[in-house]
Amino acid sequence: MANLPTVLVTGASGRTGQIVYKKLKERSDKFVAKGLVRTPEGKEKIGGEADVFIGDIRDVDSINPAIQGIDALVILTSAVPKMKPGFDPTKGGRPEFIFEDGQYPEQVDWIGQRNQIDAAKVAGVKHIVLVGSMGGTNPDHPLNKLGNGNILVWKRKAEQYLADSGTPYTIIKAGGLLDKEGGARELIVGKDDELLQTDTKTIPRADVAEACIQALLFEEAKFKAFDLGSKAEGTSAPTKDFKTLFSQVTSRF
């Protein structure tokens, strides 16, 4: 067990975060896993073990205990829009989405991610993997209208902050997330939202999670940012060689 890297995944009770946490736990020959969640319910949801910390990323002091002593940080926190109560699907139209007070993208995706990056830097963390989203090059992207939150604008600001931080980083801008089996598709890397114009613009959450963990293992993933999509299942051989995949990436932001 000596000298295994300790990896903290934040947003560990989220839909992609919990897959990363589980994968880290399964690979206890390579990693010591830690998780950060916002609530006691979130902690229970992923097994309630002592390696799961509760903290609020908007308050740097509350996340410091989780960050102490870690070697790598995987950031999977994100603001989540809620459907406005009272929507009746039988009446047609579209549901309205809102963010809860204090849980807007500016507070979660910008301030909360900046706090994590700053705390990790102070703690001497050697690698930060940040999961962002494709679509950030377009300020008029429909996702920015959700709850008037400008979510992709704030996510992109955090991505830029990490790229400028001096800490080795990998920024994975995921395509549309699918709740499908991982390890069954060929993964495609791109830049500047070019994949959004193709039919490879979606990716299973489990494949995003796997890419996060593989990024921790290869120098080729450091100081790089890339869009990540996939080909349809069954159309090509699934990606197994992540070193080669990361080697294709040349962009730093």
Q: Which residues are tagged catalytic?
A: 133
Task: For residue 82, give every residue at least 6 positions away whose Cβ sits within 8 Å of its Cβ, in sequence order, or none.
Answer: 97, 98, 99, 100
CB 159 within 8 A of CB 103: no
Lateral strand order in the sheet of 169-174: 52-54, 32-37, 6-10, 72-75, 127-133, 169-174, 224-230, 187-190
Q: In this structure, how many other beta carbons lie within 10 angstroms of the beta carbon of residue 138?
A: 14
CA gap 127, 78 in Å, rounded: 20
| CA 147 remoteness from chain centre | 21
Q: What are phi and psi of 224, to 5 degrees?
A: -135, 150
Q: In this structure, how many other beta carbons lie within 10 angstroms of the beta carbon of residue 102?
A: 9
Please report, as a single letter, which amino acid is at residue 193. Answer: D
CA gap 172, 25 in Å, rounded: 21
Q: In this structure, how many other beta carbons lie within 10 angstroms of the beta carbon of residue 35?
A: 30
